[in-house]
Amino acid sequence: MTSGRSRSCQFVEFVDGVGETAVADNLMLKFKSTILQCKRRGGTPCRSQVGFQVGRRPHHSRDASGVLTMPQIFSRKGRLLLLAVFLLTIVVACISPMVEWFTYRTSIRQWKSASLSHNVPINSQFEKLWSLAAFIRCKSCLISTENNVYFSGSLENNSPEFLVSLDLLTGGIEWQQMLRKFQTLEGLNSKHIYISQSATQKIAGPTQLWGAAQIIAYDIESFEEVWRQQFAGSWGVSINRIVENMLVIDAGPGLYHVNTDTGQKIDGPQQQDLLSAREEIQYLRTYDAGPVLRSVNIESGEIVWDHDLPSFPQFVFEDELILIGNAVSGELGGAAALDGNTGETLWNQRRVISNIAVSNGVVYFIKLEEGVWGQDLALDAQLMAVDIRTGETLGTLHFEPSGIRSGSGHYEYLVTASDNIVLVYLGDGRQLIALRFLTDK
């Protein structure tokens, strides 16, 4: 088929809309054949021409069999198809992070079925104020203040996780703020609420971290973001303590000190942490030979005493006393008091399954009776109230039924206290219970 134009060479023609269904079948064969052929008018072969000038459409022809040959990919339809595929690839690449962000933002948490529903029996030492159903999943996720209770979790099954503020005395919901996936309540002071955000992880061949773990500070009244600080290379971060205007943050490779108001790093990473100081003595947590609590004379720098620490210790400093708790999820821990001057252990309680809470000279925790913890069996346990100095038992409370379950390590058991109001979270019942401790102390 000869073009009407006067040319020295002519292209094999592809006619739009004719024989297109046969292209796929002949694709590989035609690819190996000559794509474009031309002959000089005298019949002498000339070189193939395999490009098009911008804005110029090639002259097409069909072979003798009527089958469209491979050069159709250079036709207008082919170019449009390639452009569409290219644009679609860009759109998918742009949308994927947005979809993942939306998934994090709206992710829901399936509650493991509550094993038991606990009641508070009539007790001369504890008075029940209120209770509600809740799902709380970490040791730092429940905090009480003079007027409020804060927790990160959810109030309903199949619901996203929120940061929730409750009235301390009534349990009424004051506000809720939705959290993104991997966000956790870490602590608060009079100005700010501090939330940790873990790095996200994708496994595709080698493990990769997306983003960086960070601490985010929100205004405690408006919940507007005040600052955020990232810790590159860390999968997760946690706030060990809040001391005046400084956060002590554990961020994987070491400990960092961060300003509470600005989020600026003061120093770090370090391998020891200044826990507290009084007069000429300071208390450090160091990792020289395993985790150690160390008392150091500030003036001379001499070590006064060392005390070996358990894993994941919790510290509370009260005058010359040091309270240490170390229960972790799914494992038994303990509660102890040390003399700050000598490092001597004043009292010690074992088989503790919760954190410790201290208020008005009383230490609260949940203690397990005899039995093997960690299996999904109901074991007797009780809420304990002990004297901070002597370890004397001031009050106990057995819930009904008294047995609690570990949920194979998935259930949390938490306590927090403000004045004489004690909050207890029982993971196997998905229950947050407020109690008033009735004592003359």
∠409-412-414 over CA atoms, to 5°? 150
Give the range among 110-114, 375-379, 390-394 with minimum mean pLDDT: 110-114
Query: Are 229 and 215 a contacting pair, CB within 8 Å?
Result: yes
Residue 221 is assigned to a structural domain of this protein: yes
Residue 309 is assigned to a structural domain of this protein: yes
Kindly state whether residues 336 and 369 are assigned to the same domain. Answer: yes
Q: What is the domain-level CATH number for residue 136?
A: 2.130.10.10
Average of per-residue pLDDT values in the chain: 75
Kindly state whether residues 41 and 135 are assigned to the same domain. Answer: no
Kindly state whether residues 210 and 325 are assigned to the same domain. Answer: yes
Q: How many domains does the chain have?
A: 3
In whole angstroms, what is the distance from residue 426 CA to residue 399 CA? 10
Kindly state whether residues 155 and 202 are assigned to the same domain. Answer: yes
User: Is residue 255's pLDDT more than 90?
Assistant: no
Model pLDDT, residue 137? 76
Percent of the chain with pLDDT over 90: 28
Kindly state whether residues 249 and 313 are assigned to the same domain. Answer: yes
Q: 160-213, pLDDT tens digit by residue? A: 889 999 999 999 999 999 988 788 899 999 899 999 988 765 444 444 555 678
Model pLDDT, residue 216? 93
Kindly state whether residues 294 and 412 are assigned to the same domain. Answer: yes
Tokens of 152: 């990160």
Kindly state whether residues 263 and 338 are assigned to the same domain. Answer: yes
The pTM of the full predicted model, rounded to 2 decimals, is 0.69
Residue 6 is assigned to a structural domain of this protein: no
First to last CA, the chain: 108
Residue 3 is assigned to a structural domain of this protein: no
Q: What is the DSSP letter of 39?
A: B
Query: Domain range for residue 349?
Result: 109-437
Q: 135-167, pLDDT tens digit by residue? A: 887 777 899 999 999 999 888 776 788 999 999
Model pLDDT, residue 104? 40
Kindly state whether residues 357 and 390 are assigned to the same domain. Answer: yes
Q: 12-57, pLDDT tens digit by residue? A: 333 344 444 444 444 444 444 444 444 444 444 444 444 434 344 4
Residue 396 is assigned to a structural domain of this protein: yes
Kindly state whether residues 322 and 429 are assigned to the same domain. Answer: yes
Kindly state whether residues 84 and 220 are assigned to the same domain. Answer: no
Residue 207 is assigned to a structural domain of this protein: yes
Kindly state whether residues 165 and 269 are assigned to the same domain. Answer: yes
Kindly state whether residues 89 and 33 are assigned to the same domain. Answer: no
Residue 178 is assigned to a structural domain of this protein: yes
User: Is residue 107's pLDDT more than 70?
Assistant: no
Strand partners, 201: 209
In whole angstroms, what is the distance from residue 302 CA to residue 266 CA? 25
Residue 8 is assigned to a structural domain of this protein: no
Model pLDDT, residue 5? 42
Tokens of 119: 């009641």
User: Is residue 328's pLDDT more than 80?
Assistant: no
Buried b (16+ CB within 10 A) or exposed e, 359-398: beebbbbbbbeeeebeeeeebebbbbbbebbebeebbebb
